Structure 1
Amino acid sequence: MGYQKRTWYPGVIYHITSRGNRKEIIYKDIRDRYVFLNIIENSLEYYKGEFSIICYCIMSNHFHLMIETKDTHIKHFMSRINSQYAKYFNQKYEYVGYLFQGRYYSQIIDSDLELMEVSRYIHLNPVRANIVKKPEHYIWSSYSMYLGIGKKRIVQTEKLIDCFNTMKNYKMFVEEVGNG
């Protein structure tokens, strides 16, 4: 039985999640997470302007990306980052077989409200998992970049900040749920 084709059209924004096979850990140390971010950065460069990362969060056994597409289907970007990371991981740890559990999950974001809610969900992931008390304390997400306290890397913050007018308003929006 084949996979159903993903809905895609130019300019769509996706919430993407990919999880380790059998929910196993896919980032065993700090270097693994840096390698993954470098693969994303290199893939953004490879596709030169075709994709923008709005936000992300890297957990131990899965990751979340919010990605805006231009004229290239998301499957090309995801295939590149997942296959390159799986190759790196399998070589490093001398594993064989699938690193990721099936196909990556994708959800189309089709309103500003959904964009805001999903970004909050992504940035609060480590808080809800009881890894940190505040989302800005988790260094493997883009949240600190939205607050202006983290080095801006791979993320284009403008689209989300435009929904809130200021970073301060975004922080209040995220943390009203995070502290409740």
Structure 2
Amino acid sequence: MPRMGRIVVPNYPHHVVQRGHNRQVVFVGDQDYHRYIADLRELKDVFGINVYAYCLMTNHVHLLLAPGEAIAGLGLLMKALAARATRYRNRLEGRTGTLWESRYKSSVVESDAYLLACCRYIELNPVRARMVAEAGDYPWSSYQMRATDQANSDWLDIDPCFIALGDTPERRRVRYMEFMRQAVTSSEIELIRTALQRGQLTGSARFVDEIERIQGQRIELRGQGRPRKVSEK
């Protein structure tokens, strides 16, 4: 069966995952994580990409990225990030060859209903993997920047859904932390995970219709459901 072409839509968030080749470790020490984040911070502006969330795991990365009108920027960013990390690792270990799988996975995300849920999914990865007890304990994700007033958080892009959580930065941080503490249903996790693995859309049937109109092609929706909203206070 031929592989389905990747769906990339301008100005929409995309959940992206890239894994190490044969699931090998790609981040060995702190310096590896620092370098990747520095490269992400630099290259996002080069290719016109907004970064809404990230989480660097030992052998893969989760990113929530939104390209502008030039959709090629998404692929160029991922290619540049992978190339820099590969050159660094090969030089450090005196080796040759690839560090990453050749094809990253991606899923276009419905902003209104799923964007915050996808941020939560990404930032809770270390908790689900039992690496830490709470998202705030993990240093290599966007959660600490989103939930605290860190001086180095100015490069992380703030999506409209996060802004809508409150009329002040402090209010938004508090409500997002409350959202992170809510119980996450297995159906929400499965929907996000399956959409990513299959290259499908993360969203509702109406969202699929919207993207089909934009793309001019039929897109299959597998699995439906709506994540719980941030509770009103």
Q: Using the alignment, how far apart are the partners of 1:163 and 1:16 within structure 2?
A: 24
Deviations 1:55-80 (A, max 9, x none): 10011111111011102221111111
Pair 91,3 (structure 1): closer, same or farther in 2 beyond 3 Å = farther
| Other structure's SS at 2:182 match | helix
Q: Which of 151-160 and 50-59 deviates more? A: 151-160
Equivalent residue letter for 2:102: G
Residues 1:122 and 2:114 are matched in the alignment? no
Q: Which protein has greater RCO, CA pairs closer than 8 Å, 6+ apart?
A: 1
Of 166, 173, 176, which residue of structure 1 is paired with 2:179?
Answer: 173
Identity %: 24
Deviations 1:72-130 (A, max 9, x none): 22111111111111111111122222211231110101232211211111010011111
Q: Using the alignment, how far apart are the partners of 2:149 and 2:19 within structure 1?
A: 28
> Which of the pair is proportionally richer in strand?
1
The answer as to whether partners of 2:14 and 2:107 remain within 8 angstroms in 1 is: yes
Q: TM-score, structure 1 length as denominator?
A: 0.89
- 1:64 match: 62
Q: Using the alignment, how far apart are the partners of 1:128 and 1:40 within structure 2?
A: 24
Gaps of 5+ in 1: none
Q: Using the alignment, how far apart are the partners of 1:129 and 1:114 within structure 2?
A: 22
Q: TM-score, structure 2 length as denominator?
A: 0.70
Structure with larger Rg: 2
Q: Using the alignment, how far apart are the partners of 2:149 and 2:183 within structure 1?
A: 21
Q: Using the alignment, how far apart are the partners of 2:175 and 2:128 within structure 1?
A: 21
- 1:20 match: 20
Alpha-carbon shift at residue 8 of structure 1 (Å) = 2.0
Residues 1:134 and 2:134 are matched in the alignment? yes
Could you say what the CA RMSD is over the residues aligned between the two structures, in angstroms?
Answer: 1.9
The answer as to whether partners of 1:112 and 1:163 remain within 8 angstroms in 2 is: no
Equivalent residue letter for 2:96: V
The answer as to whether partners of 1:10 and 1:70 remain within 8 angstroms in 2 is: yes
Equivalent residue letter for 2:55: C
Equivalent residue letter for 1:41: R
Residue-pair matches, total:
176
| Other structure's SS at 2:27 match | coil
Alpha-carbon shift at residue 135 of structure 1 (Å) = 0.4
| Other structure's SS at 1:164 match | coil
Q: Using the alignment, how far apart are the partners of 1:117 and 1:52 within structure 2?
A: 17
Q: Using the alignment, how far apart are the partners of 2:121 and 2:165 within structure 1?
A: 16
Gaps of 5+ in 2: 167-171, 185-233
Q: Using the alignment, how far apart are the partners of 1:153 and 1:34 within structure 2?
A: 16
Deviations 1:1-28 (A, max 9, x none): 9754322232121001111111111001
Equivalent residue letter for 2:136: E
